[in-house]
């Protein structure tokens, strides 16, 4: 049964409306889920460990006697690592090393040392950069347990200098994912608790007798986790609430169509809501990719998910030229943007909005997902217009440093007082004026 | 009538509990306000300009015929600037120049150029930094209209390279604040609409026929504005939802007590919920500050607000030594931290969490509020543990750049495939394997 993927042509008069329809996605906010998450948060805030234990035993079908028994020690993490096949262990270690190297470079290049400068009259102004003290990483359990996500969330935190990284991962029916535990060992996670859901978010946000309170919670989770994270935002920091994953491929029509078809599959196989879009100026090439999709789809183990995703949310878009393809890419602001073309940098220079850009035919998104080095936690649903990949900077914060000299206070005091009076804030004005040698007024 | 401010002593056995009680603050989330904001958002999303016009005419008691007539042109902004007294205009201009200079330095020092590096096998990895396209700045109308906030929000955006900065400011009963308009002129705001409330947030987040859609909304507002911002987060970026303003003064007991009393006033005068705390190792000095507070309070025009704020939320804390004062400062993670002491840098080096640090006796917070240069939009309510002053970085975003060479794909493809199979994502694995010269399996 061949698959029907929406086809758009930028020459069609209603192209913009059609494109908007393809992109339209409303995250369903289920009020019942939100209220349930709110109740669990309040309960854990009030009752601490006792509530965490009850919810964990109930939802994950466990019989734990205390939250302390839900902690996995470093020895067990190391054992999980030692238990992997050498090939898999080496792959995980190399991926971690590359992710660490990239984020170390990011730390060095992105102003992590802060700065300061001295003005002529002796004022010193600047910015101090410090790591967060303690961070929580949520790792989903069950099917969608991705060891690569452990690396991508924990390593930037450790590179930033976070002293304590606490991982929570639910283990429904007590089933642990050895690859996830091995990844935690490699990434240098400090403590691991096998708890999940809104109760794990609550434990991290408020702290309990057993689970320490963190300053920020990152990592993906189900709808309850997302609702809980939204609600604790402010008490702790959170990362973005991720929408479905997306790939946008700009192709000039010279890459093997099988490669592009598989790249579209690699996004579509994540889940039914994932979005895969190809934009190309060559209609004949688009037809080749479509033929390849139909030929290869039955061979994929996750063909049902891929079919649903491509049918409901996929698109093949024919455009005038690569310039127009870039305009569309800026409109879509995709999480993953592959520029599979000759001279990809030429087109990359025109892109303003994208979570990550994969340049050239050999840069398949899957390389970035695992081991290229840059982070795979990326802004989805057009949020690349205003947000960034997860990075070292997400685990640091800045403080302004203001050291005004006596001489400096003479100049600045008059300015501040003038503006403070203008705003009707007399104490502000007087506070500045007290530092003047010749008191005003 | 003398004022009673809570006094704490770190030597008291229940000191930690008392301190927690002082710091406790629950932002009231009014469900009725949230629902009203949600209705306005949905209405503006559906009906655009017509809804914005109706709400504006109703809530601000105007009779505007169209949203277009609510726009203030550049000429009017320039006229407002020209109409200021020379002293005030110069003060505003100097403040703007200093804020711009600091943020230009911040841009230069904080990795705004991005980076890239080439690996041995030819892979190029890096990060591209781009400004947001278009930003909305919310400026409150009425009493709490602060021209300094216009500078602090708009200038970093322009320094970042944002092409279009759109300001919204309600004008209840048609009353415009000339100082706010003048600040907009100086800051280089591109367009100004006299709209406010949830309807202004909606117009900026979704766009209307007249008001362009922005990528991020920053700036303070009332409870409706805060609720609306929370709800549009994800469609656009937002800054932090600010809590009440706070100052924490660490003083070694050698600064003129009148100065410290006035510094505490300068925070307390903002509003009844503002928090002013003094920490000092010298009980006799604390008594001097308290006496000064009582002596000076009746002289302040905003004495009622100050009295309420200091009575309900203020505290004078006696500690063992300045080391302990620093520990408490790290716990409080204050928005504004004054270190009014000899050798202030010695103590600043021990501070991990603070929005802005004001070092030495001449660095009154009010200088930083107006014209020192660093931003006065700072993390409140202990969020300095994980967030930062508003800065150039808030108006930029990063994209990862991944250009894998053919040689690089041979190494990385095998690693990615190994890990993808481990996660059960076969299309990811195949996508990587297609780039291998000697296909696997």
- CB-count burial class (<10 Å; 0-12, 13-18, 19+) for A421: middle
Q: Is A353 annotated as a binding residue?
A: no
pLDDT of residue A72: 98
Q: How many helices (H) and strands (E) does chain B have?
A: 17, 15
pLDDT of residue A430: 97
B92/A128 Cβ within 8 A: no
- In terms of CA atoms, which chain A residue is nearest residue B403? A359
Across chain B, mean pLDDT equals 95
pTM, 2 dp:
0.95
Q: Is B285 annotated as a binding residue?
A: no
pLDDT per residue as tens digits for the range B1-46: 789 999 999 999 999 999 999 998 776 667 899 899 999 999 999 9
B419/A91 Cβ within 8 A: yes
Residue B45 · residue B206 · CB < 8 Å: yes
Residues of B in contact with A435 (CB under 8 A): 259, 361-362, 364, 367
What residue ranges define each of the domains in chain A, with the CATH number in brackets? 6-27+243-372 (3.40.50.1980), 31-117+134-238 (3.40.50.1980), 404-433 (no CATH)
pLDDT per residue as tens digits for the range B54-101: 999 999 999 999 999 999 999 999 999 999 999 999 999 999 999 999
- Partner residue facing B102 (CB), from A95, A125, A383: A125
The 3-class SS string of chain A reads CCCCCEEEECCCCCHHHHHHHHHCCCCCCCHHHHHHHHHHHHHHHHHCHHHHHHHHHHHCCCCCCCCHHHEECHHHHHHHHHCCCHHHHHHHHHHHHHHHHHHHHHHHHCCCCCEEEECCCCCEEEEEEEECCEEEEECCCHHHCCHHHHHHHHHHHHHHCCCEEEEECCCHHHCCCHHHHHHHHHHCCCEEECCCHHHHHHHHHHCCCCCCCCCEEECCCCHHHHHHHHHHECCEEECCCCCCCEEEEEECCCCCHHHHHHHHHHHHCCCCCCEEEEEECCHHHHHHHHHHHHHHHHHCCCHHHHHHHHHHHCEEEECCCHHHHHHHHHHHCCCEEEEECCCHHHHHCCCCCCCEEEECCCCCHHHHHHCCCCCCCCCCCCHHHCCCCCCHHHHEEEEEEEECCHHHHHHHHHHHHHHHHHHCCHHHHHHHHCCCCCCCC
pLDDT of residue B350: 97
Phi, psi (5° rounding) for residue A374? -60, 160
Q: How many CB pairs under 8 A join A and B?
A: 395
**Across the strands, what pairs with B358?**
A402, B338
- In terms of CA atoms, which chain A residue is nearest residue B145? A423
B256/A302 Cβ within 8 A: no
Q: Is B336 a catalytic residue?
A: yes
pLDDT of residue B441: 47
A386/B236 Cβ within 8 A: yes
Residue B332: DSSP 8-state: H
Query: A141, A162, A422: best mutation site toward chain B, by most B Cβ within 10 Å?
Result: A422
pLDDT of residue A132: 98
pLDDT per residue as tens digits for the range A262-311: 999 999 999 999 999 999 999 999 999 999 999 999 999 999 999 999 99
Query: A149, A386, A387, A396: best mutation site toward chain B, by most B Cβ within 10 Å?
Result: A386
B300/A426 Cβ within 8 A: yes
pLDDT of residue A141: 86
Residue B48: DSSP 8-state: T
Tens-binned pLDDT, residue by residue, of chain A (441 aa): 789 999 999 999 999 999 999 998 776 667 899 899 999 999 999 999 999 999 999 999 999 999 999 999 999 999 999 999 999 999 999 999 999 999 999 999 988 889 999 999 999 999 999 999 999 999 998 766 789 999 999 999 999 999 999 999 999 999 999 999 999 999 999 999 999 999 999 999 999 999 999 999 999 988 899 999 989 998 999 998 788 899 999 999 999 999 999 999 999 999 999 999 999 999 999 999 999 999 999 999 999 999 999 999 999 999 999 999 999 999 999 999 999 999 999 999 999 999 999 999 999 999 999 999 999 999 999 999 999 999 999 999 999 999 999 999 999 999 999 999 999 999 999 999 999 987 654
ipTM: 0.95
- Nearest CA distance, A285 vs chain B (angstrom): 18
- Nearest CA distance, B12 vs chain A (angstrom): 23
Question: What number of other Cβ atoms are within 10 A of residue A385's Cβ?
Answer: 23
Beta strands A115-118; A124-131: pairing state: antiparallel
Q: Is A369 annotated as a binding residue?
A: yes
| Per-residue pLDDT at B144 exceeds 80 | no
Q: Is A423 annotated as a binding residue?
A: yes
A95/B262 Cβ within 8 A: no
pLDDT of residue A28: 66
- Partner residue facing A148 (CB), from B92, B301, B419: B419
Residues of B in contact with A362 (CB under 8 A): 404-406, 408-409, 435
């Amino acid at each position: 049964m061949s698959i029907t993927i929406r086809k758009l042509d930028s020459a069609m008069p209603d192209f913009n409306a059609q494109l908007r329809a393809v992109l339209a996605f409303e995250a369903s906010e289920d009020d019942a889920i939100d209220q349930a998450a709110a109740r669990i948060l309040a309960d854990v805030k009030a009752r601490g460990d006792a509530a965490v234990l009850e919810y964990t035993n109930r939802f994950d079908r466990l019989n734990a006697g205390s939250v302390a028994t839900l902690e996995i020690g470093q020895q067990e993490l190391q054992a999980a690592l030692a238990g992997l096949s050498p090939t898999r262990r080496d792959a995980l270690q190399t991926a971690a090393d590359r992710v660490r190297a990239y984020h170390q470079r990011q730390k060095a290049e992105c102003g992590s040392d802060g700065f300061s400068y001295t003005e002529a009259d002796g004022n010193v102004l600047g910015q101090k950069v410090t790591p967060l003290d303690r961070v929580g990483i949520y790792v989903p359990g069950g099917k969608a347990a991705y060891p690569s996500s452990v690396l991508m969330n924990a390593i930037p935190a450790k590179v930033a200098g976070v002293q304590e990284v606490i991982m929570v991962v639910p283990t429904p029916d007590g089933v642990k994912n050895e690859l996830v535990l091995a990844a935690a060992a490699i990434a240098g996670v400090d403590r691991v608790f096998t708890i999940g859901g809104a109760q794990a978010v609550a434990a991290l946000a408020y702290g309990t007798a057993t689970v320490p309170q963190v300053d920020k919670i990152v990592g993906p989770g189900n709808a309850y986790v997302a609702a809980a994270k939204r609600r604790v935002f402010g008490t702790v920091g959170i990362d973005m609430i991720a929408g479905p994953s997306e790939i946008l491929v700009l192709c000039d029509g010279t890459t093997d169509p099988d490669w592009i078809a598989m790249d579209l599959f690699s996004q579509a196989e994540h889940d039914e809501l994932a979005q895969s879009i190809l934009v190309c100026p060559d209609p004949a090439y688009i037809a080749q990719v479509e033929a390849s999709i139909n030929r290869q789809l039955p061979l994929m183990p996750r063909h049902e998910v891929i079919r649903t995703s491509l049918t409901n949310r996929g698109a093949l878009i024919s455009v005038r030229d690569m310039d127009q393809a870039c305009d569309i890419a800026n409109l879509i602001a995709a999480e993953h943007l592959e520029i599979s073309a000759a001279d990809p940098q030429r087109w990359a220079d025109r892109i303003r909005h994208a979570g990550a850009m994969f340049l050239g035919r050999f840069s398949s998104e899957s390389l970035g997902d695992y081991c290229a080095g840059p982070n795979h936690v990326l802004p989805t649903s057009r949020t690349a217009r205003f947000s960034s990949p997860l990075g070292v900077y997400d685990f640091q914060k800045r403080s302004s440093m203001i050291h005004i000299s006596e001489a400096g206070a003479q100049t600045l005091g008059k300015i501040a007082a003038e503006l403070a009076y203008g705003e009707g804030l007399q104490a502000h004005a007087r506070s500045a004026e007290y530092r003047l040698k010749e008191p005003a007024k």
